[in-house]
Chain A
Amino acid sequence: EAGVAQSPRYKIIEKRQSVAFWCNPISGHATLYWYQQILGQGPKLLIQFQNNGVVDDSQLPKDRFSAERLKGVDSTLKIQPAKLEDSAVYLCASSFLRLAGGGHEQFFGPGTRLTVL
């Protein structure tokens, strides 16, 4: 079974530029997550989709970050314009179903390492 795919793996941009990341979840997984992991910290949830609807985007900086999941499969995360503090690894994860209170396994992609100069 293919895992979660992300591209690009690495991206270097200058501040105020725009950047987009792509994620292809595991086939059949209804839930998709984007996380930001700053060096030395744990992953921070940015946005969660259930199929193509947004379930939680409370920690997404909406003035510069946007995400979409068209057709409930692939997803893109965009930053426009980027700031120095956006330098981080952006992880995409997917899960089969969000079972309330029962836990659910999230399968993570390898991440995109973004450096903003």
Chain B
Amino acid sequence: TQLLEQSPQFLSIQEGENLTVYCNSSSVFSSLQWYRQEPGEGPVLLVTVVTGGEVKKLKRLTFQFGDARKDSSLHITAAQPGDTGLYLCAGESLPRDMRFGAGTRLTVKP
């Protein structure tokens, strides 16, 4: 059973479109991270959110942490082929360490 549920599982869009992926849980997290993983490589950290309601922007990517710190979303504006990859959320729920969701596999077609 996944502690973190990510949706959608797969997403295929055209270059220039906008998209949002979600990370949901019934647990409260002290912090939540988003990673991107490309084939044959390990995940790379995109952002860490700590405060409920927090919004962080990274160029065309906008991350939001839910007010109750149980869920998060990642919105990408004007997606590009270089955004293609597996997007993973990971939540820290003390005293345990990070637990990952199953990921959203994004494909952006030129």
Partners in one complex: yes
Q: A: which residues have CB within 8 A of B?
A: 4, 33, 35, 40-45, 48, 55-56, 58, 91, 93, 98, 100-103, 105-111
Closest-CB distance, B98 to chain A (whole angstroms): 7
Asked if B99 and A45 sit within 8 Å, CB to CB, the answer is yes
Q: Please, which residue of chain B has its CB at the minimum distance from the CB of A99?
A: B31
B40 within 8 A of A: yes
What's the Cα separation between A41 and B102 when bound, in Å?
4
Q: B: which residues have CB within 8 A of A?
A: 2, 4, 6, 30-33, 40-45, 48-50, 88, 90, 92, 94, 96-103
Instruction: List 11 contacting pairs A-B, 8 Å CB cutoff, sorted by A.
Output: A45-B97, A55-B97, A100-B30, A101-B50, A101-B92, A102-B50, A103-B33, A105-B33, A106-B43, A107-B45, A111-B40
What's the Cα separation between A40 and B43 when bound, in Å?
14
Closest-CB distance, B99 to chain A (whole angstroms): 7
What's the Cα separation between A14 and B55 when bound, in Å?
48
Task: Report chain B residues within 8 Å CB of A105.
Answer: 33, 45, 48
Task: Report chain B residues within 8 Å CB of A101.
Answer: 30-31, 50, 92, 94
Asked if A102 and B88 sit within 8 Å, CB to CB, the answer is no
Given contacts A42-B88, A43-B88, contact A91 B42 (CB under 8 A): yes
What's the Cα separation between A108 and B45 when bound, in Å?
9
What's the Cα separation between A33 and B100 when bound, in Å?
13
Give the contacting residue for B40; candidates A44, A56, A110; CB below 8 A: A110
Task: Report chain B residues within 8 Å CB of A110.
Answer: 40-42
Task: Report chain A residues within 8 Å CB of B30.
Answer: 100-103
Given contacts A101-B92, A103-B33, A103-B48, contact A43 B43 (CB under 8 A): yes
